[in-house]
Structure 1
Amino acid sequence: MFTGAHVILYSHDAEADRAFIRDVLGFPYVDAGHGWLIFKLPPAEVAVHPSEGPPRDELYLMCDDVRAVVAGLASQGVEVVREPADQGWGVLAAVRMPSGAELPLYEPRHPVAHSLDSD
């Protein structure tokens, strides 16, 4: 039985992005040694989408009110690179991490799987 999923974000400035996740996003963490932080994520789900190009992976942080989350992050000085936009299936936005990478934020408008019972 699987016990969890481990997501890896590759970064040009891992230390700054770790500090952003710790201090700005406020995710709890463990220090695996020498400042190597591993963060606890909210409940997760995985989807498989068709692709015309090479396979790729994406991480979206889900929230109940993406507009409020974006406003809160912007008030802390976080750069909003994609304002919340209704896509029909959800509201999508993105902020910039210190490394320059975009972090997509997503308010789903479809059934979600992350809170299903694991019976």
Structure 2
Amino acid sequence: MTETAAARMHELNLYRRYFDLVAAGRKTIEVRVKYPHLEDLAAGDLIRFHIKGTDEICDVLVKRVTEYKTFEELLDREGQVNVNPASSREQQLANIREIYPAEKEALGVLAIEIELLPQ
């Protein structure tokens, strides 16, 4: 991103368990499926994470977006500790698939490298 380009702000919801890891700077890879509203997400953009039903927010800078075909491939390439340092690979796959069933995974999966911004 050049200095003259304006950063785009994306607003996304997070479950409490993931929000807390992001807010603590411990989670550096956010996992999403490639929904149409995320197709243009790029390095230099900002994401404001919300916990649904609260006024809690956490702002991050998008450092990189990488697309993978499967959640397994994403975890193998990105490292499970970067996605969720509090869970095993098997537990992460189970949690991710509870959120995103197979038909959603078929859209493609995104590894979004993030950096916590000062609040």
**TM-score interval, smaller chain:** 0.3 to 0.5
- Structure with the higher helix share, 1 or 2: 2
- Structure with the higher strand share, 1 or 2: 2
Structure of greater relative contact order (alpha carbons < 8 Å, 6+ residues apart): 2
**TM-score using structure 1 length:** 0.34
